[in-house]
Structure 1
């Protein structure tokens, strides 16, 4: 088994009292008594296995939610952390381009990764809309239109009422059977334009191209961003 690991965006965030707050309640305030306190949200681990020889596991996920520095009532910031792991037991059958799959059969012509088997993880963010499984499955199965968080930076997401957007944290090409992992720590997502309630949830997709095409998706638990 080979192991491939990517370390995502790292950002220093003050967390005084996080451990005590998380131990006392599942959804607590880091700074009690403050009108605009940061909120620490621990999230459950998850796992999904597919008949195609792919197992996805997410561990250590949590979020830290803050009001936006813009202080306009329509913005907020969330720092997300976690580890997404893909165990691939079947070697991908070739690394052909996205239109070279066999005619009339599932193949790389169905790929949204543009010719390479891939592990892809990020967050689905919605404004005043449910992001339950049935609400987001069409967007994942249709291919992810995403923006990635760059190293040392953050990503801004403009959201209007009823909108859902996919925010990619990172991706890793899968070239052979093995274990592939993406670690991310305090990746910053800034949301603007959503005056109502906002939600987010993690997604992790493993897409294997070739004659035996497969796509496996693991969602995280939805959480409020205020």
Structure 2
């Protein structure tokens, strides 16, 4: 009797273990893990009359939306930017009205000068169901402002609909005299919302001078997918 009872107990233990294993597999299939994608982007440079822009260490970490509805996603973006400006006529910054949207000033990349010798603006072009690979100037879109200071981290929220392109400015610096200037941002959160389709982004850096000798150069990064 004891032998039969022992066999029955061992069979019950094996059945319970098999059931627990099957339950574990079922749970794993119901809630799959989504790993972030890390994108290392190439550097670049752009040159004008007395203006040299360089971008290095650009990267993006792409995260799917926790809501899992396909309308939102996040990219954590970082880069190191250097501006070498020579021959500027010294000029102090005056009152600033803030950057103008592309619909108000087509081709401006959302930048606006305020009397300073030059203005350095940094941001991203974001497109929903649009290939931004050839994006330069003249797109129609809207501007979303970031409230954090330069060289810091923050969140840039970009509501965007299919077929739309947005110039989203991270921040800007007033350049009041000749010199070398640095603009770093580390893991700024770029939140794309309401995009029912694929989304792309590419960085832009714009420097524009004031005065009679007006100069403007743009430096664009390599486009990357946000999913």
What TM-score, normalized by structure 2, do the two folds share?
A: 0.71
Further displaced range: 186-195 or 151-160? 151-160
Rounded Cα–Cα distance in structure 2 between residues aligned with 1:47 and 1:190 = 27
The question of whether the paired residues in 1 share the 8 Å contact of 2:90 and 2:176 is answered with no
Q: What does residue 44 of structure 1 align with?
A: 42
Q: What does residue 56 of structure 1 align with?
A: 53
The question of whether the paired residues in 1 share the 8 Å contact of 2:61 and 2:75 is answered with yes
Deviation, 1:143, is 11
Q: How many residue pairs were aligned? A: 178
Structure 1 or 2, whichever has the larger Rg, is: 2
Which secondary structure state, in structure 2, belongs to the residue aligned with residue 176 of structure 1? coil
Deviation, 1:175, is 0.5
Provide structure 2 residue ranges, at least 5 long, that are not aligned to the other structure: 1-31, 96-107
Structure with the greater relative contact order (CA < 8 A, sep ≥ 6): 1 or 2? Answer: 1
Rounded Cα–Cα distance in structure 2 between residues aligned with 1:70 and 1:149 = 25
The question of whether the paired residues in 1 share the 8 Å contact of 2:141 and 2:166 is answered with no
Rounded Cα–Cα distance in structure 2 between residues aligned with 1:74 and 1:144 = 19
Question: Counterparts in 2 of 1:112-151, with a 5 A limit?
Answer: 112-116=112-116, 117-133=118-134, 135-139=135-139, 145-150=143-148
Is 1:224 matched up with 2:222? no
Q: What does residue 170 of structure 1 align with?
A: 171
Question: Counterparts in 2 of 1:62-81, with a 5 A limit?
Answer: 62-81=59-78
Q: What does residue 106 of structure 1 align with?
A: none
The question of whether the paired residues in 1 share the 8 Å contact of 2:64 and 2:72 is answered with yes
The question of whether the paired residues in 1 share the 8 Å contact of 2:93 and 2:176 is answered with no
Deviation, 1:35, is 4.4
Deviations 1:47-100 (A, max 9, x none): 0111x21000000000000012232111100000011111101123645879xx
What TM-score, normalized by structure 1, do the two folds share?
A: 0.72
Rounded Cα–Cα distance in structure 1 between residues aligned with 2:120 and 2:59 = 20
CA distance 1:125–1:162, shift in 2 (3 Å): same
Q: What does residue 190 of structure 1 align with?
A: 191
The question of whether the paired residues in 2 share the 8 Å contact of 1:149 and 1:168 is answered with no
